[in-house]
Structure 1
Amino acid sequence: MEVAGQIVLPDDIYECDIDLTLYMAASSFDIIINNSDLKSDWFQKKQQVKVYYGYVADPSNWSINDLEHVFTGKTDGVQPQWGGQQGNVVELVGRDYSGQMIDTYNSYAFTNWTSSEIANYFAKKYGLTPLITPTTSVVPSDAYQNLQEWDVLQTCAVREGFICYVTKDLELYFGPRQYSGNPVATISMASISETAASGDGLSFDDSAVGVYNKVTVIHYYKGQTIEGSAQNDQLIQSMGGQVVEKIMTDSKATTPALANQLAQNYLTQYSREAITGNLQNLPGNTAYVIDALVQVTDAGRFSGKYYIEEVKFQYGKQNGFVTETLAVTNILPDYAYQYKTDLYGDSGETNIESELDDDWEAS
């Protein structure tokens, strides 16, 4: 790893954990380093940290160019500790370069700006190389007022059908999703079951919990009850004919037609019947990157291609370089908000979800 351009050798690193997540949340690092020579006097908040993983043929003769650069971020905290189980150590914690935009509320009025102009503004503000697809429609004020800067970018991305993230090479990508469709690795359940230790392996979840096959939208407007519904007949059939309904209120449903339209759009979100998987303690593989495909074999009906939603890499003195966690899904979500729901659970409507509602009403 590098801190502020200075290499920290593997012999001084007790643990190095990297959590790569999808667009709504910052990827993060947690690194524990030998502090017998008081490196904690030199480490500071906001220093740039680059993390490299990989394997070398000769441990006594290698350079950092033999490893794969997987992460760039900034330190949020420096935490020295004396006399613990590992001796004198210092822990560095931090996030990728989206973290500074997550921490900052937007104060700029982007009057008559397009989404791509807003993205270029933030790229320039934070010294990021812009990889930005031009757009033409003007963004309304509720897409950027009283919001965190990162939420502004994600809201603009959703409006355009784009994704937005900061790369390890300090590029701000704002554009269509790009992926080849070819798996980056094949994971055999037969091989895992033969070699897995306790707690290792891959578990799947094909659950209908939280999945609705009918949505009804209700709004009490000018003394009248406005109501609209939408249902997924194919999903009802696959759930044994049982109707699982979600009833919602929405002030935008001022006519039955709008209520039906809102119900249909909510149904798209709440009827996602994804199969998710969680794989523990694989050999480290830098090909595991967000949005990439992996091929799962020897798993019966659960065999197939899965998209990577989250990767946790770990380097430690005992186990070396491992993929501690690989979270996957068989359905590629349409919006960053759906990724956030998959990873962290539904914590209520976000601005992005509200912005989608506005788009749906206007369409």
Structure 2
Amino acid sequence: MPPSNIAQTRAIHLQLLIDGQAIAGTQEVEVCTSNHQISGWFRLLLVLGQDASVSVARFSAMTDATAEILVGIAAAGLAAATADWQSLIAGPIDDIAIDMVAGTVQLTGRDFSARLIDTLSAESFPNQTASEIAQTLALRHGLTPVITATATPIGRYYQDGHSIFSLYQSSSTVTEWDLLCALAETEGYDLFVRNQSLLFAPPLSLTLPAVWQWMPGGTGSTTMTDLRMERSLALARDITVTVQSWNSRQQTMITQSVRSSVAGTLRSTKTATHAAASNYVLLRPNLTSDQALALATQTLADLSRHERVIIATMPGELSLSPRNLVSLQGTQSDFDQTYVVDEILRRISLRDGFVQTVRAVNTPLVQNP
């Protein structure tokens, strides 16, 4: 792996807060954030003896605690006070591992979506919109709601008394996060937690991508120190997604199908050819025809975007986040295109400095007019 010029011109500073209290002695940190509807997670290693408040006794008695990991970047040789600080993740600590021989404590945890993931719910929220439910659940767990309002009630049908989500859950108990994921799927919204805010909103409009330049001959530029490119041939062929939904209000089965072509476009199966394709079928209750079509379209886009995957390692930075765009250039192949950041794993240690590994997938398909 070639050395990075960036690492030689900057200083990386770490700060750990446990229940709001600054803790010294952090030796290394890993933080993972994702575009999937799953928790971000962290792992950190503390050295015993560098902070009087960090003791085996304290961690042996700990029952509930939160951690926040902040990183600051300053010019080489400058103090932490001059750094540009940013919170990488905040959330509950899940596990503690104490190594008495090494004199270290390992803490692992998740972001604050863990509070919803760990809470079961049998509520049906009759006659409320998706955004109202998201706001209720966010406030219930002390999270700041950053929510775009929705208009369609997703609770009970007056005519037959069925709750769309009690039917979706088959009348079973699910987690509050599962419920929010189902709402986000129905509305075509993004759902994630950033620090202590719950975001439930339409996907951000596409912005100018960051450029990742790979130098011919296999030598990485200062942008990347390692690059891996993958392609799924199963997803490279035509894909058909069919959504079937029994609408109890209309007493009818609604079916909507969409199909992608190898040319990278999306179309209704009414205008599609009948070449061999990979077929996916989703069953969802009580959808309208428009909702079923929207779900099929979104699912097809989600599948198609994993046809090409790039995994790049580079010096760590603070501007990139899941859902951002990146443009790969310089491979002199069909991999030179625009991708969406899917996952970022950031590692900070006293030995290796600040590096990040980014997984990005090709941009979703666009519906033909």
Please confirm whether the aligned pair reaches a TM-score higher than 0.5, indicating the same fold: yes
Q: How does 1:135-214 map to 2 (within 5 A)?
A: 135-140=150-155, 141-143=163-165, 145=169, 146-168=173-195, 170-179=196-205, 181-183=207-209, 185-190=210-215, 193-194=218-219, 201-213=226-238
Asked whether 1:310 is paired with 2:343, we answer yes
Look up the SS of the partner of 2:363 in the other structure: coil
2:94 aligns to what? 76
**Which amino acid in the other structure matches residue 358 of structure 2?**
L
- For 1:291-306, list aligned pairs within 5 A: 291-301=323-333, 302-306=335-339
Higher mean C-alpha displacement, 72-81 vs 34-43: 34-43
For 1:90 and 1:192, how far apart are their aligned partners in 2?
Answer: 43
1:54–1:285: 8 Å Cα contact kept in structure 2? no
- After superposition, the Cα gap between the structure-2 partners of 1:306 and 1:82, relative to the gap in structure 1 and judged at 3 Å, is same
C-alpha deviation, 1:164, in angstroms: 1.4
State the shift of 1:246 in Å.
3.7
Contact 1:293 1:306 in 2 (8 A): yes
- Once the two structures are TM-superposed, the CA of residue 33 in structure 1 deviates from its matched residue by 0.6
Identify the match of residue 26 of structure 1 among 10, 29, 39: 39
Q: Which structure is higher in helix share?
A: 1
- After superposition, residues 1-363 of structure 1 pair within 5 angstroms as 1-9=16-24, 12-36=25-49, 38-43=54-59, 44-57=62-75, 61-63=79-81, 66-83=84-101, 87-140=102-155, 141-143=163-165, 145=169, 146-168=173-195, 170-179=196-205, 181-183=207-209, 185-190=210-215, 193-194=218-219, 201-213=226-238, 215=240, 232=260, 234-235=262-263, 243-246=275-278, 274-280=307-313, 282-301=314-333, 302-323=335-356, 325-332=357-364
What residue ranges of structure 2 are gaps of 5+ in the alignment?
1-15, 156-162, 245-254, 266-272
Q: 1:158 to 1:64 in 2, by over 3 A?
A: farther
Conserved in 2, the CA contact under 8 Å of 1:23 and 1:163?
A: no
Q: What is the aligned-residue identity percentage?
A: 22
Q: CA deviation at 1:333?
A: 7.7
Deviation per CA, 1:176-198: give whole Å up to 9, x if none. 11245122x432211994359xx
Per the alignment, in what secondary structure is the counterpart of residue 100 of structure 1?
A: helix
Q: 1:142 to 1:39 in 2, by over 3 A?
A: farther
Q: Over aligned residue pairs, what C-alpha RMSD do you find?
A: 3.8
Residues 129 and 154 of structure 2 are in contact (CA less than 8 Å); yes or no, is this contact kept in structure 1?
A: yes
- For residue 270 of structure 1, report the CA deviation from its aligned partner: 5.1
In the TM superposition, residue 66 of structure 1 has moved relative to its aligned partner by 3.6
TM-score (structure 2 length as normaliser): 0.72
The answer as to whether partners of 1:192 and 1:201 remain within 8 angstroms in 2 is no
Report the secondary structure of 1:134's partner residue.
Answer: coil
Alpha-carbon displacement from aligned partner over 1:92-120 (angstroms, at most 9, x marks no partner)? 00000001211222132311111011011
3-state secondary structure, aligned to 2:119: coil
Amino acid at match of 1:182: L
Structure 1 residues 47 and 299: alpha-carbon distance in aligned structure 2, compared to 1, 3 A threshold? same
AA paired with 1:48?
T
The letter of the residue matching 1:331 is T
The aligned counterpart of 2:160 is none
Change beyond 3 A, Cα 1:138–1:63: same
Q: 1:244 to 1:332 in 2, by over 3 A?
A: same
Amino acid at match of 2:151: T
Question: Matched residue pairs, number?
Answer: 311
Q: Shift of residue 278 of structure 1?
A: 0.6
Given that residues 205 and 275 in structure 1 are in contact (C-alpha distance below 8 angstroms), is that contact kept between their aligned partners in structure 2? yes
SS at match of 1:299: coil
Query: Following the alignment from structure 2 to structure 1, what is the Cα–Cα distance between the partners of residues 164 and 77?
Result: 55
Q: Give the Cα–Cα distance (whole angstroms) in 2 for the partners of residues 316 and 233 of structure 1.
A: 45
